[in-house]
């Protein structure tokens, strides 16, 4: 009887684990599908209003995407979250949100790609990456779980258009500890945490 009871418990446990995995996969698929639609709308600049609740990515859905932080960067959520993570992990949430603002401001803007992954990976062919972490030759896998969860939540809000633009329309930024020559040709729009943000004086990307 005892062996039968143990076997039954193991079977139930296996079924529960399988059901949980299936549920997570479903949430991930839903989140990625929603993100694809939302990034296209953002690129088309069809509206600045927050996304309707029925179309918005939920917290459980976004957290189901790339849970280990090791997935290929081929969907909007992963590309945006990983860029927020590597550019601003260990900094305040305001810094992380501002990085998301820059990516979203570039999305569909004249001179930039019309997908999140395109924006994040731009320049990799010529070794002149717009986001340095993408071309630094190091692993892009996540190392800290909590900051990455924060990055995914910020990415969710950005795609849902629930994230205020702290940067005032910035398309570029750099760490306060450096003084790049290109900054002289741009208008400083905001200084947030450890970053300074800019947009071209004429409004067009360069």
CATH number at residue 89: 1.10.10.2520
Residue 11 within a domain: no
The verdict on residue 70 lying in a domain is yes
Residue the block writes with tokens 């059901």? 19
- What digits encode the pLDDT tens for the residues 154-166? 999 999 999 999 9
Looking at the structure of the chain, the number of domains it has is: 1
Res. 10 pLDDT band, cuts 50 70 90: low
107 within 8 A of 116, measured Cβ to Cβ: yes
Task: Using the predicted structure, report yes or no on whether residue 200 has a pLDDT greater than 80.
Answer: yes
The verdict on residue 16 lying in a domain is: no
Does residue 21 fall inside a structural domain?
Answer: no
Q: Is residue 15 assigned to a domain?
A: no
In a domain, 18, yes or no: no
Q: Residue 186: is its pLDDT beyond 60?
A: yes
d(CA 171, CA 37) in angstroms, rounded, equals 22
Residue 10 lies in a domain: no
With b for 16 or more beta-carbon neighbours within 10 A and e for fewer, the 69-81 pattern comes to bebebebbbbbbb
Tens of pLDDT, residues 64-109: 999 999 999 999 999 999 999 999 988 889 999 999 999 999 998 9
Strands 186-192 and 195-200: antiparallel
- Model pTM? 0.86
Residue 195's domain spans which residues? 27-200
Average pLDDT rounded to a whole number, residues 172-186: 92
4 is a domain residue = no
- Please check the confidence at residue 7 and state whether its pLDDT lies above 70: no
């Amino acid at each position: 009887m005892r062996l039968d009871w143990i076997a039954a418990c193991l079977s139930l446990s296996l079924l529960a684990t399988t059901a949980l995995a299936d549920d997570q996969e479903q949430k991930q698929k839903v989140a990625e599908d929603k993100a694809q639609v939302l990034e296209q709308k953002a690129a088309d600049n069809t509206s600045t209003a927050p996304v309707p609740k029925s179309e918005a990515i939920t917290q459980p859905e976004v957290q189901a995407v790339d849970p280990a932080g090791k997935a290929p960067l081929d969907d909007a959520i992963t590309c945006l979250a990983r860029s927020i993570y590597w550019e601003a992990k260990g900094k305040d949430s305001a810094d992380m949100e501002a990085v998301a603002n820059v990516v979203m401001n570039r999305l569909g803007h004249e001179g930039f790609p019309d997908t999140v992954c395109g924006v994040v990976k731009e320049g990799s062919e010529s070794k002149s990456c717009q986001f340095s972490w993408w071309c630094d030759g190091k692993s892009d896998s996540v190392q800290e779980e909590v900051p990455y969860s924060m990055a995914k939540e910020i990415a969710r809000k950005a795609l849902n258009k629930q994230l205020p633009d702290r940067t005032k329309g910035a398309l570029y930024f750099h760490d306060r500890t450096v003084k790049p020559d290109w900054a002289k040709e741009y208008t400083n729009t905001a200084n947030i945490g450890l970053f300074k943000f800019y947009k071209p004086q004429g409004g067009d990307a360069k």
